Structure 1
Amino acid sequence: MTLEKLSESKCHGGMQQVWRHDSATTGTPMTFAVFQPEHRATEKLPVLWWLSGLTCTHENAMIKCEYKAACAAHGIVFICPDTSPRGEGVPNHEDYDFGQGAGFYVDATQDPWSRHFQMKSYIEDELPGVVAGAFDVDMDRQGISGHSMGGHGALTVSLRNPGRFRSTSAFAPIVSPLNCPWGEKALTGYLGDDRQAWRQYDSVALIEDGARLAEVLIDQGRADEWLEPELKTHLFEDACRKAGMTPTVRMQDGYDHSYFFVSTFIADHVAWHAERLKA
């Protein structure tokens, strides 16, 4: 496997880079961003994965999320994968909430999506192997976070992989694709009509089916236009309460769904992860 460096810029003493590789999982080139803080050559740093939302590439968080100063201060590598396969021959859809830019972090089983849209396996299996082999990271100290569709991804990836992540957080996550229009559209298209097959991609259903996380931090804006129709944070809180989990859910007055909201609280999240990612 060959990694191609597309860009590199010094930032807060570290390096913000963009890389591309040919993915065996998606059958396409895949691009991801990596911020590496300044560190000793022999030092292995904890890693924080960031999963982005609908319409995003690796670039949205890299430019708008404002994580670099906090990651430099805490010595954390920050990784932003793309949200779907892209390129010639990759199927797409005219709507923003399905197709390229909207992979929903699932392994599609339906034609024509199943050939390339294998984002669960890419995020859980292939990309961690790429990162572990190429960067100064300690894979025993991983955290995961994300925004909106990426918050859904962060919660479900962590719930499906107990013990892999020391810390899990999310911004305005889609907590239950089984119970919102975005989720119903995506999961029907990628997985078909069998709603039982959807449950592994729904954080509420995963908790109902026995998955657990020791801690979760969620920030959600009260002025978010998608809160009631799509995000439904209360469903996650209800499932956690019934399961004996005690998530930290912070409802933030006046904040919407944008990266202005994310950038306001990202340093809090990085610090929270850093506490749990200490050696």
Structure 2
Amino acid sequence: METYKKIRCCGGWVHRCKHVSKVLGNLEMNFTVFTPAAAAAGSPVPQIYWLSGLTCTDENFTTKAAAFKKANECGVALVIPDTSPRGAKIPGEDDSYDFGSGAGFYLNATAAPWSKNYHMYDYIVSELPALVNGNFPVKPDKVAIMGHSMGGHGALTIALKNPDKYKSASAFSPICNPINCPWGQKAFKGYLGDDTDAWKMYDAVELVKGYSGPDLHLLVDQGDADEFLQEQLKPEALQAACLATKGLSLTLRMQEGYDHSYFFISTFIDDHIQHHAHHLN
């Protein structure tokens, strides 16, 4: 791993890093870690993963979310990975915004040719945490996860599949029920093939239906002026599933007038960081 930039911000430090990922087929990956002032003396701090949405890299959240002041106040690290492998040289991977580069959907692809490189689930759950835990003053057993849109889908599904790893999960405008929306259907068919049972393994609504782990204290913010709300996001399906599941709480906040953008995220990101800091501590 190489830290090629270290930038002072809000009392802490923004670390821009790169490494070669084995699980992604030996491709170079960039990621960002924010460490608060509380970690300056080497004292380990809790950590929150942020998963970004379609077309994004780690830099979108880093430069637009205005999250670092609150993270420093709460004494938590933020880990911000990329959204897909880069440079796999698969024909067509750069042809559309919602599949291929920038659109890894936080799953392990099983269909060729994507199955060689597109293992973002393993990258987020296993490889990147091992790297971060070994190189930064963070607590491996104090982890939360959050994200936006495709990344909100990733945060919810990864937490639901690994409740032993995460204390809480939250999302902005998540793709809640991807097996029933165009974005999810396109991605799942391409990455996973035609077996719709395999698709359900990466659908938050379906995972909630069979969930029996500890409470993940789910928090979802959704703008009611989001242009993707009805066709792609479907928070009402997630709410219905959680209401029918004992021991799994969901706070769904419909925010009047807000859209799908980082203007929305930057408005409420402090609430999400505070939410996770509470459960991490």
Give the TM-score normalised by the residue count of structure 2.
Answer: 0.96
Matches of 2:226 and 2:122 in 1, distance apart? 31
Q: Residues 90 and 63 from structure 1, CA distance in 2 versus in 1: closer, same or farther, beyond 3 angstroms?
A: farther
Q: Over residues 2-45 of structure 1, what are the superposed CA-to-partner deviations in whole Å (9 max), with x where a residue is unaligned?
A: x1112121001111111000001002111101111113423110
Which residue in 2 is equivalent to 1:44? Answer: 44
SS of aligned partner of 1:31 = strand
Matches of 1:88 and 1:268 in 2, distance apart? 37
Q: Give the drift of 1:93.
A: 3.9
Q: Give the drift of 1:163.
A: 2.2
Q: Counterparts of 1:173-192 in structure 2 under 5 Å? A: 173-192=174-193
Which residue in 2 is equivalent to 1:216? Answer: 218
Pairing 1:243–2:245 present: yes
Which residue in 1 is equivalent to 2:59? Answer: 59
Q: Residues 72 and 203 from structure 1, CA distance in 2 versus in 1: closer, same or farther, beyond 3 angstroms?
A: same
Q: Over residues 56-75 of structure 1, what are the superposed CA-to-partner deviations in whole Å (9 max), with x where a residue is unaligned?
A: 00100000111100001011
Q: Give the drift of 1:48.
A: 0.3
Matches of 1:226 and 1:212 in 2, distance apart? 31
Matches of 2:205 and 2:276 in 1, distance apart? 22
Matches of 1:60 and 1:86 in 2, distance apart? 16
Instruction: Tell me if structure 1 keeps the 8 A contact 2:35–2:77.
Output: yes
Choose the corresponding residue for 2:255, options 252, 255, 260. Answer: 252
Query: What letter corresponds to residue 36 of structure 2 in structure 1?
Result: P
Query: What letter corresponds to residue 198 of structure 1 in structure 2?
Result: W
Pairing 1:274–2:277 present: yes
SS of aligned partner of 1:162 = coil
SS of aligned partner of 2:118 = coil
Q: Residues 63 and 130 from structure 1, CA distance in 2 versus in 1: closer, same or farther, beyond 3 angstroms?
A: same
Q: Name stretches of at least 5 consecutive residues in structure 2 with no aligned partner.
A: none
Matches of 2:261 and 2:210 in 1, distance apart? 32
Q: Give the drift of 1:234.
A: 0.1
Q: Counterparts of 1:122-271 in structure 2 under 5 Å? A: 122-212=123-213, 214=215, 215-244=217-246, 245-271=248-274
Q: Give the drift of 1:95.
A: 1.2
Q: Give the drift of 1:140.
A: 1.1
Matches of 1:186 and 1:115 in 2, distance apart? 16
Pairing 1:20–2:18 present: yes
Matches of 1:167 and 1:216 in 2, distance apart? 6
Instruction: Tell me if structure 1 keeps the 8 A contact 2:6–2:14.
Output: yes
Instruction: Tell me if structure 2 keeps the 8 A contact 1:159–1:211.
Output: no
Which residue in 2 is equivalent to 1:99? Answer: 100
SS of aligned partner of 2:166 = coil
Instruction: Tell me if structure 2 keeps the 8 A contact 1:159–1:213.
Output: no
Matches of 1:198 and 1:156 in 2, distance apart? 12
Q: Over residues 88-133 of structure 1, what are the superposed CA-to-partner deviations in whole Å (9 max), with x where a residue is unaligned?
A: 5245141100000000001001111111101011111100100110
Instruction: Tell me if structure 1 keeps the 8 A contact 2:148–2:173.
Output: yes
Matches of 1:261 and 1:158 in 2, distance apart? 23
Instruction: Tell me if structure 2 keeps the 8 A contact 1:145–1:154.
Output: yes
Query: What letter corresponds to residue 87 of structure 1 in structure 2?
Result: G
Q: Name stretches of at least 5 consecutive residues in structure 1 with no aligned partner.
A: none
Instruction: Tell me if structure 2 keeps the 8 A contact 1:110–1:190.
Output: yes
- Aligned residue pair count: 276
Give the TM-score normalised by the residue count of structure 1.
Answer: 0.96
RMSD value, Cα: 1.1
